[in-house]
């Protein structure tokens, strides 16, 4: 769950180089939920009680440039029993006039999916090449995840027992590839990104927004 709900900035290594350095948009991401998740929940006696949305829920994103080398971002979505909070900080370490740029980024995510709670930290290395209307980028990330499960299971009609698993820790990683397209005169921007997860939670998403 921590891998699947991770905050995804949809940002290249190059800094926000438009007038105000401000970008706002909606993210839509499809995620392949690993079968091992449901297998483990069944072992815990929670079979049939955990549902994952099959349609991507839009997540609000806001990014701001704080100079020629530093960008920060926030994201949020709330839907019924689902709450996702995210943030990221990016430091541009190499940005030549010509050639690829490199950046280090740290992302943070806190999620609540029904009775599953996770917190994750994701250090990333990002490389991109800024073109006139498009910026292709790629990167690697490593996730450190902690979580807990707090719920209940019905054992008899009208009788439930509490179930709690705490101190759960895991790690994961992924490689991602993306492309940002911008129409300078209108400020409209679209970004698409796909990620290959080393634990099976592959994703494909897009972000639609405005950049100033």
pLDDT computed for residue 39 by the predictor: 73
* Secondary structure class of 50 (helix, strand, coil): coil
**pLDDT higher than 90, residue 161:** no
Q: How many residues does the chain have?
A: 212
Residue keyed to tokens 């490199």:
102
CA–CA gap between residue 204 and residue 196 (Å, rounded): 9
pTM to 2 decimals?
Answer: 0.85
Given this model, what pLDDT does residue 55 score?
A: 57
- Which pLDDT belongs to residue 201? 84
Residues 147 and 1: their CA atoms lie apart, in Å, by: 9
128-158 pLDDT, tens per residue?
A: 998 888 999 999 999 999 999 887 777 677 7
Q: What is the tens place of the pLDDT at every residue in 8-42?
A: 999 999 998 766 889 999 999 988 777 776 777 67
Half-sphere exposure of 153 (CA within 13 A, CB side): 13
How many CA atoms lie less than 13 Å away from 191 in the CB half-sphere?
27
Helix (H) or strand (E) holding 36: helix 35-43
Confidence of residue 44 (pLDDT cuts 50, 70, 90): low
pLDDT value, residue 191: 96
Q: Do residues 140 and 118 lie in contact, with contact meaning Cβ atoms separated by under 8 Å?
A: no
4/105 Cα distance (integer angstroms): 18
CA dihedral 123, 129, 133, 134 (to 10 degrees): -50
Give the percent of the chain with pLDDT over 70.
Answer: 91
What is each CA distance from 191 to 7, 137, 203, in whole angstroms? 15, 10, 14
pLDDT in tens, 86-142: 999 999 999 998 889 999 999 999 999 888 899 999 999 999 998 888 999 999 999
**Residue pLDDT, tens place only, 51-81:** 555 557 789 999 999 988 999 999 999 988 8
């Amino acid at each position: 769950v921590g891998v699947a709900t991770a905050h995804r900035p949809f940002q290249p290594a190059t800094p926000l180089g438009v007038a105000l350095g401000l970008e706002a948009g909606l993210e839509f991401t499809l995620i392949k939920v690993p079968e091992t998740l449901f297998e483990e929940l069944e072992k815990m006696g929670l079979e049939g009680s955990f549902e994952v949305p099959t349609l991507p829920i839009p997540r609000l994103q806001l990014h701001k440039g704080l100079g020629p080398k530093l960008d920060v971002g926030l994201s949020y979505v709330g839907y019924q029993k689902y709450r996702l909070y995210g943030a990221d900080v990016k430091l541009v370490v190499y940005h030549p006039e010509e050639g690829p740029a490199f950046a280090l980024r740290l992302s943070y995510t806190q999620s609540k999916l029904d009775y599953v709670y996770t917190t994750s930290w994701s250090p990333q290395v990002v490389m991109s090449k800024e073109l006139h209307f498009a910026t292709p980028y790629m990167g690697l990330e490593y996730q450190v995840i902690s979580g807990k499960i707090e719920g209940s299971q019905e054992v008899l009609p009208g009788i439930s027992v509490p179930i709690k698993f705490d101190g759960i820790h895991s790690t994961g990683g992924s490689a991602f590839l993306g492309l940002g397209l911008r129409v300078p005169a209108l400020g409209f921007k679209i970004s698409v990104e796909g990620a290959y997860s080393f634990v099976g939670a592959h994703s494909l998403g897009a972000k639609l927004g405005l950049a100033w």
